[in-house]
Structure 1
Amino acid sequence: MNIVILAGGVGKRLWPLGRKNNPKQFFPVVGKKPLVKETFDRFTKTYGAKKIFFSTTADLLPYLKKIFPQLPASQFIVEPSRRDTGPAMGFVAVKLFLQSPDEPMVFVPSDHFIADVKKYLACFKIGAKLIKETDKMLDIGITAIFPSTVLGYTKIGKKYGNFGGVEVYNFDGHTEKPNYETANKYLADGNYLWHGNYYMWTPRLFLSAMKKYAPSVYEPLEKIKNLLASNKQKEIIKIYAKIPKISFDYAVTEKIDKKEVLII
């Protein structure tokens, strides 16, 4: 499985520590290492450094290269311009499609603190297995502990199964960044999880969902996919800059058929 660390955010939620010129993923918050390094190290023991990629932007690339000088340029997937997570994740999917279209991939945030690393990594192992068996998207939910209005909420349906202590549920819908009153209702309901951007799919399935639910994003990405082989950078930059600016949550997650997703 390919691990894609999302490291292109401006990281200002920890302001004044986290700022545009010093995003929170690039400095220590818990422990002595930058959050992005903690994330990288968490996965290298299981998957190896060669299976880890970074989705980032040109202005943040120097931060990553300073922290990971040993990695080749091919493991830094640089968004041509900031168009939000829909196009950015789609651009990654296009790049990985050209390498291994049916190999599972997972997008992971660069700045999460993980208390139970063993169980956390078990989720990805089960997710990769289920992707191959079901052709569904796997998403890892986070237990909601207060009514946040800056996160999306995923509603879980009936239990799908228990795999070595990892519980998997059917998907019953997604609401992105509800107001406080709605978030409070979700918390009281008990069947809603915070959505943490842990999308697991194959590049082929990912792009198929974009084609179905976000054609205005998919169509230019398909053109870019055809241009990448010939390395026509100027054309790629021009096409990418015109893609609608939209998060993947709004572009796909809120629209996707409930039967196409499982929740861990």
Structure 2
Amino acid sequence: MKIIVTAGGQGTKMWPYSRIEKPKQFQPIIGDESSYKHNIDILLRKFNPEDIFISTKRKFIKYVSEQSPQIPLKNYIVEPDIARDRGPGEGLAFLKLAMTHPEEPFFLVQADCYREPADRFLKMIEQAEQLVIKHKQLVTGGIKATEPSIGVDYLQLGKDLGADAYTIDTFVFRKSTIKETRELIQNFHVVTHCNHMCWYPEKILEAYKQYRPDWYAKLMEIKEAIDQPGENEAIERIYAEMEKGPTEEVTTHVMDSGKAMVILLPYKWTDLGTWNSVYDFFADGIENYQDGNVVSVDSAGSLIKTSHPDKLIAVAGVEDLVVVDTDDALLVIPKDKIDKIKDIQAELENRETPEYL
């Protein structure tokens, strides 16, 4: 089994901690360590450093080497510093593994996700590997759907394989209303889709060829350029020609074909996509999520975080607020307006103040 840790995203929704030159996965969003280091430390409990591969952008290599010195440099899968989303980026990682370890399954670990307890996560990886070896099909993750949510996709379950694993009958894209989602949960055996992936690198490349042949063609051009003179320049040129898009433009078709499986996650999981997701994951019934030197009086439902141990952040009489303080920026925003962060960033661009982005 090989592990691919993806750590090349920009994480713009986690501003002001996440910055263009040092995004959220390398920042101490939770406590004093980054989610990248947190995940690497967990994986090293079970896997040798030689079996862990890091997919990241060239400009982030310094953070990878600082925060995971155990991982050999030859295991870095380096994307050009060009934003092409996860489809091309992960495709490059799959290509590299297919060239070096075609017969071994891989498990994809996103560096900006948290999973607790960690021991159950490691057991799930082991279970996924066993399913892939036995059935030769893609394995993903799911959570029992109890409350309707319009922000997530669903998987309709098929055959029970035991140990909370199932075949997938169909992939159900997110509904536009709570009513539609509630009817889906009530009338069909579905689980919420959680973006995990375990498979063979050659199998996922075959799926690229079938469902995104344009990506596949460019990946084959990159393959021809590897270990040739001018390799880096050629890869950068070809990669820039790839159309942006998420890996789901491939994997959703695989899951919808009836040739995939899902494991119900035996642990708590979140993708740290926004400050609200941090609150939802870690607040766990308490009035506020506080990280750092914080005093809160008569406040509820809020996230308050500071990076300064010698600086006090005090709030009183606030509800459902996000307060995040860094060396050079302070964010104060209602939780239900969290998507306005992109408007703040647009204004900073208009003001030509890239040092804050």
Q: TM-score range by the shorter chain?
A: 0.7 to 0.9
Q: Deviations over 1:156-208 (max 9, x none)?
A: 2231222xxxx111112224555353555555567443433311111111111
Partner of 1:129, secondary structure, is helix
Question: Matched residue of 1:173: which SS?
Answer: strand
Query: Partners in 1 of 2:42 and 2:228 — Cα distance?
Result: 35
Structure 1 residue ranges (4+ consecutive) displaced by more than 6 angstroms after TM superposition: none
Give how far 1:108 is off: 1.1
Pick which of 119-128 and 9-18 moved more: 9-18
Alignment match, 1:15 = 15
Query: How far did 1:87 drift?
Result: 1.2
Match of 2:353 in 1: none
Q: How does 1:176-255 map to 2 (within 5 A)?
A: 176=173, 178-181=175-178, 182-183=180-181, 185-186=183-184, 191-230=189-228, 232-254=231-253
Report the Cα offset of residue 152 of structure 1.
3.6
> Residue 98 in 1 paired to residue 103 in 2?
no
1:139 aligns with 2:112: no
1:113 aligns to what SS in structure 2? Answer: strand
Counterpart of 1:114 in 2: which secondary structure?
Answer: strand
Alignment gaps of 5+ in structure 2: 264-357
How many correspondences in the alignment?
Answer: 260
Query: In 1, are the aligned partners of 2:17 and 2:27 still within 8 Å (CA)?
Result: no
Partner of residue 130, structure 1: 131
Distance 1:78 1:194, change over 3 A: farther
Residue 4 of structure 2 corresponds to residue 4 of structure 1 = yes
Structure 1 unmatched runs, 5+: none
Q: Could you tell me which residue of structure 1 aligns to residue 45 of structure 2?
A: 45
- Equivalent pair of 1:149/1:177 in contact (CA under 8 Å): yes
Q: How much does 1:148 deviate?
A: 4.9
Measure how far apart 1:134 and its partner are. 1.1
Contact 2:207–2:254 (CA under 8 A) maintained in structure 1 = no
State how far apart, in whole Å, the 1-side matches of 2:89 and 2:54 are.
Answer: 11
- CA deviations on 1:35-59 (whole Å, 9 max, x unpaired) are 1111111111111221111111123
The answer to whether the 8 Å contact 1:26/1:34 transfers is yes
1:188-231 deviations in Å (ceiling 9; x for gaps): 56744343331111111111111122111111112212221325
Q: What RMSD, in angstroms, separates the aligned Cα atoms of the two structures?
A: 2.5
Bigger shift: residues 189-198 or 133-142: 189-198
Q: Secondary structure at the match of 1:259?
A: coil
Greater RCO between the two (CA within 8 Å, min separation 6)? 1
Deviates more, 1:33-42 or 1:169-178: 169-178
TM-score by length of structure 2 reads 0.66
- Evaluate the alpha carbon distance shift between residue 106 and residue 189 of structure 1 in structure 2; reply closer, same or farther with a 3 A threshold: farther
Rounded to whole Å, the distance in 2 between the matches of 1:193 and 1:14 is: 27
Calculate percent identity across the aligned residue pairs: 29
- The Cα shift of 1:2 comes to 0.9
- The structure having more radius of gyration, on CA atoms, is 2
Alignment-derived partner of residue 55 in structure 1? 55
Letter in 1 for 2:20: K
Which residue of the partner structure matches residue 260 of structure 2?
261
1:32 equivalent in structure 2: 32
How far residue 63 of structure 1 moved from its aligned partner, in angstroms, is: 2.3
- TM-score when normalising by structure 1: 0.86
